[in-house]
Amino acid sequence: MTKIKTFWINTVDQYCSGIKTVTNETTRMIRTTKSKLSPWNVQLKARRKVLTKAEETTIPRPTVPEFADVVIIGGGSAGCNALYHLAKLGTNAILLEKSKLTSGTTWHTAGMFWRLRPNDVDIQLLDGTLRTIKQLEEETGENPGFIQNGGLFIAHNETRMNEYKRLVTAGKYFGIEAHVLTPEETKKLYPFIDEKSFTGAIYSPQDGTIDPSILVDALTKSAKGLGSKVIENCPVHKIITQENDCSWKSVTGVETPYGTIRTKCVLNAAGVWAGSLAKLAGVNIPLIPMKHAYVVSEPIEGVQGLPNIRDHDGSLYIKVQGSSLQIGGYEPNPIILKSVPRDFSFGLYELDWTVFNTHVNAMVELVPKLKTTGIKSTVCGPESFTPDHKPLMGEDPKLSGFFYSCGYNSAGMMYGGGCGEQIASWIINGRPEKHMFSYDVRRFTSDQVRDSVWANERSHEAYAKNYSTVFPHDSPLSGRNFKKDVFHNLLIKNGAVMEEAQGWERPGWYQPGKITLIPPYDYYGAYGSPKNKRNDYAEILKKDYTFDFPEHHDVIGSEALSCRNKAALFDLSYFGKYYLCGAQSQEAANYLFTANVDREVNRTVYTCALNKHGGVEADCTVTSIEAGSGGVADPIFQRKAFYIVAGGMSSYHTFAHLHRVIRKKGFEATIHDATETMGILSIQGPNSRYILEEITDKDFSDKEFPFSTSKIIDVKGCLVRAFRLSFVGELGYELHIPSQSCEKVFNSLMEAGKEHGLKLAGFRAMYSLSCEKGYHLWNSDLRIDDNPIEAGLGFVCRRYGDYNGKKAVNNLRVNGVKRKLVHFHLKDKNTPLWGLEAIYRDDKLVGYLRRAEYSYVYSNSIGQGYITHPLGENVTKNFIESGKYEIESMGKRYPARAYLHSPFDPENKRLQGNYN
């Protein structure tokens, strides 16, 4: 191995000495790589001519229009795809590019396209890109730059192989052909591979490679043919905004050196410059530019047409480029850039081999021929990365009309078409068609987008772990303790193992008697930062690095069963807590919510909030309240107000949605965020009432405190808003406690709970319990692409009065549904399910699990997923109940029972406190 390395470094040294002359002449940033370019790059070379000053002055001044419906800033993959899809929807946008099309990151992309992803929305977006490519081909009669050379995923161990098998199963419903291969079978497809160096592989023949310049040409030509405009050499210097009387800020235009364009809609598709552009508009996004690179080998005879390779365990990819191989990957120490100069165009950086060398061993082990092959050129360019390795899309919650399609994390070619399609619909129809929450810029709170240290840490970790196995339960080590709720220290003392959601620490599960602290992020020892000597938290996370039941499966089970049999205490403090007030608060609430919220004071209602297409934007509880005695739990206000509580992970999204609708409809109402002023303790289970009665003098009987109501109570001298509610299907109460009283109430509950078997329980137990009961979880089995009727939530959609999305709800009510949410129980007791498993009815593929858990009551895995009719007919109760079901997990099918409603306490007796 040493010998190999020496040879490699010699080759590299020779190469680097060649490039130094170029570097010396042009400072650190170089505008040309070595002159040896393969045929693919010849075309690019022609495009990336750097203009001399004299040439620059001879460029004709572009003429910009005075007005545009939509202005797109940036002529890379993101901007051009958006331009095309907007044109297809009948909107002729104007694309402004500061230099030439593709001159940012797009021109030097590796352009690989994969179809399999551990996420159904990603898969659908990739499908959107393929659809765009096919559409372009049909329109132009020419291939818009897609080569279908197939893709291989290489596994070096059994766990990775299991992950791949999971992907193959997940891809089935979406029609993705994929095969599990032995090393020998893989070698037949890729003769240069050493079959002894890995465990197995999967092959996905529909994967391929995108030529960026051909694609961008085709997209812009087609869009221009439909009336859109592209203006090159036209930088945007300023985003013009205005503020109305209610402090709503909106976009009114852009300024260029050639004039101002008035517009109400700007799409920021400026790649690595998107962050600075957002700042120009007075808003922030968590986008971190980094250097990202691949090297190109000298020609190797016989590589033409071979599939692309992703070796996740080696953090490496290999792609054929003409008769050479391109090798790139994700390093533990990527170079993070403060910014990229404004005039950087068709530029590259000198490759830093101290970063790239990390790939050498893995690549020569997998393809030994690379030991003796030199490096012809290196391509190291700027690319944008984000804290969760997902793009930033959608409208800025603080600036109306300012949209994003940026932050593509080295995947902007493959997601370009799908995301272009969605952003066009987002702009024109108000919302995307797909469930874009994990792409929506509103998945980050204002605190997160403002904090560059947080974004930096998290983006580094997301980059370094990009090829790590995606386990069902994992948590980041970076950016932790960003937001701690009032109970944090008390819970840590009681053994909480924290997980992170929307910047908050929340208890995942408990190890009583142990204290698990999360140390500051050590960048995994990169950049010379000292590695944490001890990280118990990281060691605990590793126990979840399995596709089997983890070691602490039964510990979580004991929390869940304590809730079913005695009592459990959940900390829900990070949930969103909002007051909706104002002269038209009732009108606003009626329009926002599907359920009847015009109820008597202190009545709590579970409801959905929809978009106009009937998609579920949020689910929450809404309580009509009257003016109180003052303080955060019992505020003073005029007229009527509502107290809204939304799940923590989606609380900012919920807030932004409600806020946007109120603004657009012009209701005289406002929403106040009280999230950080109160903690929430939820006490659930048959003994919950006894415990509460011990610490207050209130009567918690059904008569005095019925289900779905709220009241202000006194707990040991602290004023608390109490609710009779349950997210787990038990007799239970939620206490919303002003921060200063939280510790006292917590200690009182824990003390009183001792003799009633009260146990602290985390979110892992809570999700298992809620799934067991058949409740919904927004962002998994209830999403923007689901209608409440499909989700079995018709009962929260009122038949009278108007509300946002009602037409779409009524349509399905009258005409029936083509898909329906169904609850499943696996008959087998020993197989875990994690979500994305395929659902078969009478041997036909009808859906996949959106969400899966383990039921500790039934001792088997359970899940929920939407099923369709194989003939495209309506899905009826009879259809659901008459079939024979199987769930496929990792390539193996298991018999399952299907239920329209969960079999757990179907009459809701436990909610009523009836345990007889």
Name the minimum Å distance from CB 290 to ligand FAD.
9
Inter-residue contact 214 to 145 (CB < 8 Å): yes
198 sits near ligand FAD (criterion: CB under 6 A)? no
275 sits near ligand FAD (criterion: CB under 6 A)? no
The candidate with the shortest Cα–Cα distance to 477, out of 556, 533, 529, 539, is: 539
Report the residue number, 410 or 502, with the smaller CB distance to ligand FAD.
410
| Beta strands at 844-855 and 838-841: parallel, antiparallel or unpaired | antiparallel
Name the minimum Å distance from CB 382 to ligand FAD.
7
Name the minimum Å distance from CB 165 to ligand FAD.
24
259 sits near ligand FAD (criterion: CB under 6 A)? no
79 sits near ligand FAD (criterion: CB under 6 A)? yes
The piece of 22-30, 72-80, 298-306, 830-838 that touches ligand FAD (CB under 6 A) is 72-80
41 sits near ligand FAD (criterion: CB under 6 A)? no
Amino acid in position 476: P
Here the tokens at position 557 are 């089970």
Report the residue number, 287 or 809, with the smaller CB distance to ligand FAD.
287
Could you give the dihedral angle defined by the CA atoms of residues 337, 344, 45 and 18, in that order, rounded to the nearest 10 degrees?
-60
In 396-496, where does DSSP find H-type helix?
A: 416-429, 446-450, 452-464, 488-493
Q: How many residues does the chain have?
A: 916
Residues 274 and 66: their CA atoms lie apart, in Å, by 23
Report the residue number, 383 or 500, with the smaller CB distance to ligand FAD.
383
411 sits near ligand FAD (criterion: CB under 6 A)? yes
Task: Find how far residue 24's CA is from the centre of its chain.
Answer: 42
Inter-residue contact 216 to 77 (CB < 8 Å): yes
**771 — alpha (psi -120 to 50), left (phi > 0) or beta?**
alpha
Q: How many residues bind ligand FAD (CB under 6 A)?
A: 41
573 sits near ligand FAD (criterion: CB under 6 A)? no
| Cα-trace Rg, the chain | 28
83 sits near ligand FAD (criterion: CB under 6 A)? no
253 sits near ligand FAD (criterion: CB under 6 A)? no
Q: Which of 381, 832, 865, 883 binds ligand FAD (CB under 6 A)?
A: 381
Residues paired with 506 in a beta bridge: 499
Name the minimum Å distance from CB 223 to ligand FAD.
15
Amino acid in position 735: L
Report the residue number, 303 or 541, with the smaller CB distance to ligand FAD.
303
289 sits near ligand FAD (criterion: CB under 6 A)? no
Q: Which of 37, 68, 73, 745 binds ligand FAD (CB under 6 A)?
A: 73
Report the residue number, 103 or 456, with the smaller CB distance to ligand FAD.
103
Chain positions 88 to 117 lying near ligand FAD, rule: CB under 6 A, are 96-99, 103-106, 109-112
Q: Which of 266, 327, 364, 413 binds ligand FAD (CB under 6 A)?
A: 413
Binding-residue pattern over the window 214 to 243 for ligand FAD, x denoting contact by CB under 6 A: ---------------------xx-------
Report the residue number, 235 or 628, with the smaller CB distance to ligand FAD.
235
Name the minimum Å distance from CB 515 to ligand FAD.
42
Sheet strand arrangement including 348-349:
29-30, 348-349, 375-385, 288-297, 324-329, 316-321, 308-311, 151-155, 200-204, 179-181
459 sits near ligand FAD (criterion: CB under 6 A)? no
Residues 476 and 389: their CA atoms lie apart, in Å, by 12
607 sits near ligand FAD (criterion: CB under 6 A)? no
Residues paired with 267 in a beta bridge: 72, 403
Residues 429 and 420: their CA atoms lie apart, in Å, by 14
Residues paired with 861 in a beta bridge: 854
495 sits near ligand FAD (criterion: CB under 6 A)? no
The piece of 411-419, 548-556, 682-690, 756-764 that touches ligand FAD (CB under 6 A) is 411-419
Query: Tokens 């790939």 belong to which residue?
Result: 359
Task: Find how far residue 691's CA is from the centre of its chain.
Answer: 39
Query: Tokens 């579920």 belong to which residue?
Result: 616
Could you give the dihedral angle defined by the CA atoms of residues 326, 331, 337 and 338, in that order, rounded to the nearest 10 degrees?
160
Describe the crossing of helices 120-140 and 158-172 by its angle, rounded to 10 degrees. 60
Chain positions 859 to 888 lying near ligand FAD, rule: CB under 6 A, are none
Q: How many CA atoms lie within 13 A of 135 on its CB side?
A: 16
Run of H or E including 569: strand 567-571
Report the residue number, 108 or 434, with the smaller CB distance to ligand FAD.
108
Name the minimum Å distance from CB 239 to ligand FAD.
9
436 sits near ligand FAD (criterion: CB under 6 A)? no
Residues 468 and 471: their CA atoms lie apart, in Å, by 9
SS3 902: coil
Name the minimum Å distance from CB 354 to ligand FAD.
17
Helix, strand, coil percentages in the chain from 3-state DSSP, rounded to 5: 30, 25, 40
Name the minimum Å distance from CB 369 to ligand FAD.
22
Name the minimum Å distance from CB 373 to ligand FAD.
20
Chain positions 290 to 309 lying near ligand FAD, rule: CB under 6 A, are 292-294
Binding-residue pattern over the window 315 to 344 for ligand FAD, x denoting contact by CB under 6 A: -------------x----------------
Residues 129 and 786: their CA atoms lie apart, in Å, by 22
Name the minimum Å distance from CB 180 to ligand FAD.
24
277 sits near ligand FAD (criterion: CB under 6 A)? yes
The candidate with the shortest Cα–Cα distance to 231, out of 51, 96, 418, is: 96
Name the minimum Å distance from CB 118 to ligand FAD.
17
**493 — alpha (psi -120 to 50), left (phi > 0) or beta?**
alpha
Q: Which of 146, 190, 353, 408 binds ligand FAD (CB under 6 A)?
A: 408
Task: Find how far residue 64's CA is from the centre of its chain.
Answer: 37
Residues 613 and 608: their CA atoms lie apart, in Å, by 13
Report the residue number, 236 or 609, with the smaller CB distance to ligand FAD.
236
CA of 140: how far to CAs of 427, 474, 532, in Å? 26, 45, 57
The piece of 68-76, 281-289, 476-484, 758-766 that touches ligand FAD (CB under 6 A) is 68-76
Report the residue number, 411 or 680, with the smaller CB distance to ligand FAD.
411
Inter-residue contact 452 to 387 (CB < 8 Å): no
254 sits near ligand FAD (criterion: CB under 6 A)? no
Chain positions 792 to 851 lying near ligand FAD, rule: CB under 6 A, are none
Report the residue number, 296 or 632, with the smaller CB distance to ligand FAD.
296
Interface positions with ligand FAD (CB under 6 A): 73-79, 96-99, 103-106, 109-112, 235-236, 269-273, 277, 292-294, 328, 379, 381, 383, 406, 408, 410-414
